[in-house]
Protein backbone atom coordinates (compact mmCIF):
# COMPACT_ATOMS: atom_id res chain seq x y z
CA UNK A 1 0.00 0.00 0.00
CA UNK A 2 2.86 2.37 0.87
CA UNK A 3 4.53 1.63 -2.48
CA UNK A 4 1.26 2.27 -4.34
CA UNK A 5 0.67 5.56 -2.52
CA UNK A 6 4.25 6.61 -3.17
CA UNK A 7 3.87 5.71 -6.83
CA UNK A 8 0.72 7.87 -7.13
CA UNK A 9 2.49 10.81 -5.46
CA UNK A 10 5.47 10.40 -7.76
CA UNK A 11 3.16 10.31 -10.77
CA UNK A 12 1.41 13.54 -9.69
CA UNK A 13 4.73 15.36 -9.41
CA UNK A 14 6.14 13.87 -12.63
CA UNK A 15 3.00 14.88 -14.54
CA UNK A 16 3.34 18.41 -13.20
CA UNK A 17 7.04 18.57 -14.10
CA UNK A 18 6.30 17.29 -17.60
CA UNK A 19 4.00 20.27 -18.14
CA UNK A 20 6.68 22.83 -17.29
CA UNK A 21 8.92 24.27 -20.00
CA UNK A 22 12.02 22.09 -20.23
CA UNK A 23 14.38 24.89 -19.23
CA UNK A 24 12.43 25.46 -16.01
CA UNK A 25 12.27 21.74 -15.19
CA UNK A 26 15.99 21.42 -15.78
CA UNK A 27 16.75 24.26 -13.35
CA UNK A 28 14.46 22.91 -10.63
CA UNK A 29 16.01 19.43 -10.93
CA UNK A 30 19.55 20.81 -10.79
CA UNK A 31 18.70 22.91 -7.72
CA UNK A 32 16.78 20.25 -5.84
CA UNK A 33 18.56 17.00 -6.70
CA UNK A 34 22.05 18.30 -7.51
CA UNK A 35 22.03 20.94 -4.74
CA UNK A 36 23.39 23.66 -7.02
CA UNK A 37 23.01 27.37 -6.28
CA UNK A 38 21.65 29.78 -8.87
CA UNK A 39 25.17 30.89 -9.83
CA UNK A 40 26.35 27.29 -10.18
CA UNK A 41 23.37 26.46 -12.37
CA UNK A 42 24.07 29.52 -14.52
CA UNK A 43 27.66 28.36 -15.00
CA UNK A 44 26.69 24.74 -15.69
CA UNK A 45 24.07 25.70 -18.28
CA UNK A 46 26.05 28.65 -19.66
CA UNK A 47 22.99 30.82 -19.07
CA UNK A 48 22.87 34.37 -17.63
CA UNK A 49 22.27 34.41 -13.86
CA UNK A 50 19.22 36.66 -14.26
CA UNK A 51 17.66 34.16 -16.65
CA UNK A 52 18.26 31.31 -14.20
CA UNK A 53 16.61 33.32 -11.41
CA UNK A 54 13.60 34.14 -13.57
CA UNK A 55 13.18 30.55 -14.78
CA UNK A 56 13.56 29.14 -11.28
CA UNK A 57 10.89 31.48 -9.90
CA UNK A 58 8.56 30.93 -12.87
CA UNK A 59 9.04 27.16 -12.60
CA UNK A 60 8.17 27.14 -8.90
CA UNK A 61 5.10 29.32 -9.47
CA UNK A 62 3.91 27.06 -12.28
CA UNK A 63 4.68 23.90 -10.30
CA UNK A 64 2.69 25.22 -7.34
CA UNK A 65 -0.26 26.01 -9.63
CA UNK A 66 -0.14 22.54 -11.20
CA UNK A 67 0.14 20.72 -7.91
CA UNK A 68 -2.52 22.94 -6.31
CA UNK A 69 -4.36 21.10 -3.59
CA UNK A 70 -2.26 18.00 -4.17
CA UNK A 71 0.64 19.53 -2.25
CA UNK A 72 -0.80 18.93 1.21
CA UNK A 73 -1.64 15.33 0.38
CA UNK A 74 1.98 14.75 -0.68
CA UNK A 75 3.27 15.33 2.86
CA UNK B 1 16.77 45.97 -0.49
CA UNK B 2 12.98 46.32 -0.67
CA UNK B 3 10.35 43.90 0.63
CA UNK B 4 9.46 42.85 -2.94
CA UNK B 5 13.10 41.97 -3.61
CA UNK B 6 13.10 39.59 -0.66
CA UNK B 7 9.82 38.05 -1.82
CA UNK B 8 11.48 37.25 -5.15
CA UNK B 9 14.21 35.37 -3.30
CA UNK B 10 11.84 33.03 -1.45
CA UNK B 11 11.49 30.39 -4.20
CA UNK B 12 15.27 30.06 -4.49
CA UNK B 13 15.58 29.89 -0.71
CA UNK B 14 12.99 27.09 -0.62
CA UNK B 15 15.17 25.18 -3.09
CA UNK B 16 18.29 26.03 -1.03
CA UNK B 17 19.72 27.61 -4.18
CA UNK B 18 20.59 31.10 -2.89
CA UNK B 19 24.19 32.19 -2.48
CA UNK B 20 25.43 32.51 1.13
CA UNK B 21 25.38 36.36 1.31
CA UNK B 22 21.83 36.44 -0.04
CA UNK B 23 20.78 33.82 2.51
CA UNK B 24 22.13 35.98 5.34
CA UNK B 25 20.29 39.07 4.06
CA UNK B 26 17.05 37.15 3.63
CA UNK B 27 17.25 35.54 7.06
CA UNK B 28 17.69 38.98 8.63
CA UNK B 29 14.61 40.19 6.76
CA UNK B 30 12.57 37.12 7.72
CA UNK B 31 13.05 37.84 11.41
CA UNK B 32 10.91 40.94 11.06
CA UNK B 33 8.55 39.94 8.22
CA UNK B 34 5.73 37.52 9.02
CA UNK B 35 4.38 37.65 5.45
CA UNK B 36 7.66 36.42 3.97
CA UNK B 37 7.97 33.74 6.65
CA UNK B 38 4.52 32.42 5.73
CA UNK B 39 5.25 32.52 1.99
CA UNK B 40 8.59 30.78 2.49
CA UNK B 41 6.82 27.98 4.33
CA UNK B 42 4.42 27.56 1.40
CA UNK B 43 7.26 27.53 -1.13
CA UNK B 44 9.06 24.92 0.97
CA UNK B 45 5.97 22.70 0.62
CA UNK B 46 6.21 23.05 -3.16
CA UNK B 47 9.94 22.34 -3.17
CA UNK B 48 9.46 19.31 -0.92
CA UNK B 49 7.02 17.86 -3.44
CA UNK B 50 9.95 17.52 -5.84
CA UNK B 51 11.19 14.68 -3.66
CA UNK B 52 8.44 12.55 -5.19
CA UNK B 53 9.96 13.04 -8.61
CA UNK B 54 12.90 11.03 -7.36
CA UNK B 55 13.40 7.60 -8.87
CA UNK B 56 13.87 6.12 -5.46
CA UNK B 57 10.76 4.50 -4.00
CA UNK B 58 12.09 2.30 -1.25
CA UNK B 59 14.11 2.41 1.94
CA UNK B 60 17.60 3.16 0.76
CA UNK B 61 19.73 1.46 3.31
CA UNK B 62 19.71 0.61 7.01
CA UNK B 63 21.00 3.10 9.52
CA UNK B 64 24.58 2.67 10.62
CA UNK B 65 23.39 1.63 14.10
CA UNK B 66 21.08 -1.07 12.74
CA UNK B 67 23.73 -2.40 10.40
CA UNK B 68 26.30 -2.50 13.23
CA UNK B 69 23.88 -4.26 15.57
CA UNK B 70 23.15 -6.97 13.02
CA UNK B 71 26.82 -7.54 12.24
CA UNK B 72 27.65 -7.76 15.97
CA UNK B 73 24.88 -10.33 16.44
CA UNK B 74 26.20 -12.43 13.57
CA UNK B 75 29.77 -12.30 14.87
CA UNK B 76 28.61 -13.29 18.39
CA UNK B 77 26.57 -16.19 17.02
CA UNK B 78 29.45 -17.47 14.91
CA UNK B 79 31.81 -17.29 17.91
CA UNK B 80 29.31 -19.13 20.14
CA UNK B 81 28.88 -21.85 17.52
CA UNK B 82 32.65 -22.33 17.26
CA UNK B 83 32.99 -22.57 21.06
CA UNK B 84 30.21 -25.13 21.27
CA UNK B 85 31.72 -27.19 18.47
CA UNK B 86 35.12 -27.19 20.21
CA UNK B 87 33.46 -28.37 23.41
CA UNK B 88 31.79 -31.22 21.58
CA UNK B 89 35.07 -32.21 19.92
CA UNK B 90 36.76 -32.38 23.32
CA UNK B 91 39.12 -29.47 22.72
CA UNK B 92 37.42 -27.42 25.40
CA UNK B 93 35.81 -29.42 28.15
CA UNK B 94 32.82 -27.73 29.82
CA UNK B 95 33.59 -27.24 33.53
CA UNK B 96 30.30 -28.70 34.66
CA UNK B 97 30.75 -32.07 32.93
CA UNK B 98 32.16 -34.86 35.14
CA UNK B 99 34.46 -37.36 33.42
CA UNK B 100 33.18 -40.94 33.70
CA UNK B 101 35.54 -43.52 35.17
CA UNK B 102 35.59 -46.98 33.67
CA UNK B 103 33.56 -49.16 35.97
CA UNK B 104 31.26 -52.08 35.59
CA UNK B 105 28.75 -50.81 38.15
CA UNK B 106 27.83 -47.18 38.67
CA UNK B 107 27.90 -45.65 42.09
CA UNK B 108 25.17 -43.25 43.13
CA UNK B 109 27.49 -40.30 42.41
CA UNK B 110 28.22 -41.68 38.97
CA UNK B 111 24.52 -42.07 38.26
CA UNK B 112 23.84 -38.51 39.27
CA UNK B 113 26.84 -37.40 37.26
CA UNK B 114 25.49 -39.15 34.18
CA UNK B 115 22.12 -37.51 34.65
CA UNK B 116 23.82 -34.13 35.05
CA UNK B 117 25.85 -34.78 31.91
CA UNK B 118 22.65 -35.68 30.08
CA UNK B 119 21.00 -32.49 31.24
CA UNK B 120 24.02 -30.49 30.14
CA UNK B 121 24.02 -32.25 26.78
CA UNK B 122 20.33 -31.46 26.25
CA UNK B 123 21.07 -27.87 27.22
CA UNK B 124 23.96 -27.71 24.77
CA UNK B 125 21.86 -29.14 21.96
CA UNK B 126 19.06 -26.68 22.71
CA UNK B 127 21.51 -23.79 22.86
CA UNK B 128 23.10 -24.95 19.62
CA UNK B 129 19.71 -25.06 17.92
CA UNK B 130 18.75 -21.59 19.17
CA UNK B 131 22.09 -20.15 18.05
CA UNK B 132 21.80 -21.85 14.68
CA UNK B 133 18.31 -20.42 14.22
CA UNK B 134 19.41 -16.93 15.25
CA UNK B 135 22.40 -17.15 12.95
CA UNK B 136 20.21 -18.19 10.04
CA UNK B 137 17.78 -15.31 10.69
CA UNK B 138 20.65 -12.83 10.95
CA UNK B 139 22.08 -14.07 7.65
CA UNK B 140 18.66 -13.74 5.99
CA UNK B 141 18.39 -10.20 7.34
CA UNK B 142 21.85 -9.38 6.03
CA UNK B 143 20.95 -10.79 2.61
CA UNK B 144 17.79 -8.64 2.57
CA UNK B 145 19.70 -5.52 3.57
CA UNK B 146 22.40 -6.23 1.00
CA UNK B 147 19.70 -6.49 -1.66
CA UNK B 148 18.28 -3.13 -0.53
CA UNK B 149 21.68 -1.49 -0.72
CA UNK B 150 22.17 -2.92 -4.23
CA UNK B 151 18.78 -1.53 -5.30
CA UNK B 152 19.62 1.84 -3.79
CA UNK B 153 22.95 1.96 -5.63
CA UNK B 154 21.20 1.17 -8.91
CA UNK B 155 18.65 3.92 -8.26
CA UNK B 156 21.38 6.41 -7.43
CA UNK B 157 23.12 5.60 -10.71
CA UNK B 158 19.85 6.17 -12.60
CA UNK B 159 19.25 9.40 -10.67
CA UNK B 160 22.72 10.58 -11.66
CA UNK B 161 22.07 9.62 -15.29
CA UNK B 162 18.81 11.58 -15.26
CA UNK B 163 20.52 14.68 -13.93
CA UNK B 164 23.32 14.41 -16.50
CA UNK B 165 20.87 13.96 -19.36
CA UNK B 166 18.58 16.77 -18.25
CA UNK B 167 21.51 19.14 -17.72
CA UNK B 168 23.02 18.41 -21.13
CA UNK B 169 22.59 21.07 -23.83
CA UNK B 170 19.73 20.22 -26.18
CA UNK B 171 18.14 17.78 -23.74
CA UNK B 172 14.49 16.94 -24.38
CA UNK B 173 11.71 15.48 -22.26
CA UNK B 174 8.55 13.84 -23.57
CA UNK B 175 5.52 12.59 -21.69
CA UNK B 176 3.82 9.27 -22.53
CA UNK B 177 0.16 9.09 -21.51
CA UNK B 178 -1.79 5.90 -20.79
CA UNK B 179 -4.04 4.56 -23.53
CA UNK B 180 -7.50 3.05 -23.11
CA UNK B 181 -5.73 -0.26 -22.42
CA UNK B 182 -4.27 1.24 -19.24
CA UNK B 183 -5.48 4.82 -18.67
CA UNK B 184 -3.50 5.06 -15.42
CA UNK B 185 -0.19 4.41 -17.12
CA UNK B 186 2.23 7.30 -17.39
CA UNK B 187 5.85 7.67 -18.42
CA UNK B 188 8.42 10.35 -19.05
CA UNK B 189 11.47 9.98 -21.26
CA UNK B 190 14.42 12.37 -21.14
CA UNK B 191 17.18 12.21 -23.73
CA UNK B 192 20.11 14.30 -24.83
CA UNK B 193 21.25 15.14 -28.35
CA UNK B 194 23.41 12.00 -28.49
CA UNK B 195 20.31 9.88 -27.90
CA UNK B 196 21.27 8.84 -24.38
CA UNK B 197 17.90 8.38 -22.71
CA UNK B 198 16.24 7.44 -19.46
CA UNK B 199 12.60 6.41 -19.18
CA UNK B 200 10.53 6.51 -16.00
CA UNK B 201 7.19 4.71 -16.11
CA UNK B 202 4.45 4.38 -13.49
CA UNK B 203 0.99 2.85 -13.33
CA UNK B 204 1.82 -0.20 -15.44
CA UNK B 205 0.30 -3.50 -14.25
CA UNK B 206 2.56 -6.47 -13.46
CA UNK B 207 3.55 -8.31 -16.62
CA UNK B 208 2.26 -11.87 -17.19
CA UNK B 209 4.83 -14.69 -17.05
CA UNK B 210 7.06 -14.67 -20.11
CA UNK B 211 6.06 -11.12 -21.07
CA UNK B 212 7.67 -7.70 -20.64
CA UNK B 213 7.08 -4.10 -21.64
CA UNK B 214 9.01 -2.77 -24.62
CA UNK B 215 9.78 0.83 -25.59
CA UNK B 216 9.39 1.88 -29.22
CA UNK B 217 10.72 4.86 -31.14
CA UNK B 218 8.43 5.67 -34.07
CA UNK B 219 9.88 7.99 -36.73
CA UNK B 220 8.36 8.49 -40.15
CA UNK B 221 5.77 5.84 -39.38
CA UNK B 222 8.49 3.26 -38.79
CA UNK B 223 8.69 1.71 -35.30
CA UNK B 224 12.20 0.99 -34.03
CA UNK B 225 12.58 -1.34 -31.02
CA UNK B 226 13.88 -0.12 -27.68
CA UNK B 227 14.68 -2.10 -24.58
CA UNK B 228 12.32 -4.43 -22.74
CA UNK B 229 11.63 -3.83 -19.05
CA UNK B 230 9.45 -4.95 -16.18
CA UNK B 231 7.89 -3.00 -13.34
CA UNK B 232 8.12 -3.36 -9.57
CA UNK B 233 5.22 -4.16 -7.25
CA UNK B 234 4.03 -0.56 -7.39
CA UNK B 235 3.88 -0.60 -11.21
CA UNK B 236 6.97 1.59 -11.67
CA UNK B 237 9.95 0.94 -13.90
CA UNK B 238 13.04 2.96 -14.83
CA UNK B 239 15.75 2.13 -17.33
CA UNK B 240 18.33 3.63 -19.66
CA UNK B 241 18.11 3.32 -23.42
CA UNK B 242 19.49 4.85 -26.59
CA UNK B 243 17.25 6.82 -28.93
CA UNK B 244 18.12 5.91 -32.56
CA UNK B 245 19.60 8.72 -34.62
CA UNK B 246 16.60 8.64 -36.97
CA UNK B 247 14.28 9.37 -34.04
CA UNK B 248 16.26 12.19 -32.41
CA UNK B 249 14.65 15.11 -34.21
CA UNK B 250 11.04 13.97 -34.19
CA UNK B 251 9.60 10.76 -32.85
CA UNK B 252 6.63 9.23 -31.14
CA UNK B 253 7.46 7.07 -28.13
CA UNK B 254 5.27 4.12 -27.17
CA UNK B 255 5.23 1.24 -24.68
CA UNK B 256 3.72 -2.13 -25.62
CA UNK B 257 3.46 -5.54 -23.98
CA UNK B 258 5.62 -8.10 -25.78
CA UNK B 259 7.32 -11.47 -25.21
CA UNK B 260 10.02 -11.06 -22.56
CA UNK B 261 12.95 -11.08 -25.01
CA UNK B 262 11.41 -8.26 -27.06
CA UNK B 263 10.27 -8.13 -30.68
CA UNK B 264 11.74 -6.47 -33.79
CA UNK B 265 8.31 -4.94 -34.51
CA UNK B 266 5.43 -4.26 -32.11
CA UNK B 267 2.86 -7.03 -31.74
CA UNK B 268 1.13 -6.25 -28.43
CA UNK B 269 -1.27 -3.63 -27.12
CA UNK B 270 -0.02 -0.06 -26.61
CA UNK B 271 -0.09 0.88 -22.93
CA UNK B 272 1.33 4.41 -23.18
CA UNK B 273 2.22 6.72 -26.06
CA UNK B 274 3.57 10.23 -26.51
CA UNK B 275 2.07 12.96 -28.65
CA UNK B 276 3.42 13.58 -32.11
Q: What is the pLDDT of residue B89?
A: 58
A66–B contact, CB cutoff 8 A? no
**Which residue of B lies nearest to A52 if distances are taken between CA atoms?**
B12
Give me the interface pTM, i.e. the ipTM.
0.88
**Which residue of B lies nearest to A40 if distances are taken between CA atoms?**
B17
Interface contact A64-B46, CB threshold 8 A = yes
CB-count exposure of residue B246 (10 Å: 0-12, 13-18, 19+): middle
Interface contact A10-B236, CB threshold 8 A = yes
Tens digits of per-residue pLDDT, B78-122? 566 666 666 655 555 544 545 555 555 667 777 888 888 888 888
**Which residue of B lies nearest to A47 if distances are taken between CA atoms?**
B169
Distance CA A9, CA B222 (A): 35
Distance CA B16, CA A28 (A): 11
Interface contact B173-A25, CB threshold 8 A = yes
Q: Which has more confidence, B264 or B99?
A: B264
Distance CA B248, CA B196 (A): 10
- For the segment A55-71, the average pLDDT, to the nearest whole number, is 87
All residues of chain A having their beta carbon less than 8 Å from the beta carbon of residue B11 are 56-57, 60-61
Closest listed residue to residue B201, CA positions, set B192, B190, B210: B190
Model confidence at B63, in pLDDT bands (50, 70, 90)?
very low
Other beta carbons less than 10 A from residue B182's beta carbon: 18
Percent with pLDDT over 90 in chain B: 34
At residue B151, does pLDDT exceed 50? yes
Helix ranges (DSSP H) in chain B: 3-14, 20-31, 34-49, 64-89, 108-167
Interface contact A64-B43, CB threshold 8 A = yes
Q: Is B32 helix (H, G, I), strand (E, B) or coil?
A: coil
Model confidence at B66, in pLDDT bands (50, 70, 90)?
very low
CB-count exposure of residue B27 (10 Å: 0-12, 13-18, 19+): exposed
Model confidence at B64, in pLDDT bands (50, 70, 90)?
very low
Distance CA B257, CA B221 (A): 19
Q: Write down the pTM of the prediction.
A: 0.50
At residue B10, does pLDDT exceed 50? yes
Interface contact A29-B19, CB threshold 8 A = no
Nearest to A75 among B45, B186, B235 (CB): B45
Q: How far apart are the first and last CA of chain A?
A: 16
Model confidence at B236, in pLDDT bands (50, 70, 90)?
confident
Number of residues that make up chain B: 276
Interface contact A25-B12, CB threshold 8 A = no
- What is the DSSP code string of A1-66? -HHHHHHHHHHHHHHHHHHS-HHHHHHHHHHHTT---HHHHHHHHT--HHHHHHHHHHHHHHHHHH
Pick the range with the lowest mean pLDDT from A44-48, B22-26, B127-131, B152-156. B152-156
Amino acid sequence: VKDTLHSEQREIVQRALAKLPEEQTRILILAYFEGLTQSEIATKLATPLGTVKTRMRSGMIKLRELLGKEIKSLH
Amino acid sequence: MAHEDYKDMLTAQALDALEAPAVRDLEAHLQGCAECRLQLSEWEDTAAALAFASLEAKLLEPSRQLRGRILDAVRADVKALETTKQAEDGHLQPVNVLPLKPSRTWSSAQTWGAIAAGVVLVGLVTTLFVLWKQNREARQELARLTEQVRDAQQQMIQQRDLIEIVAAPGARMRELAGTKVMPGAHAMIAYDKTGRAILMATGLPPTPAGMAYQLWFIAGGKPMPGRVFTTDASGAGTFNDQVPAEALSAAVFAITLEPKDGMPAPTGAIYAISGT
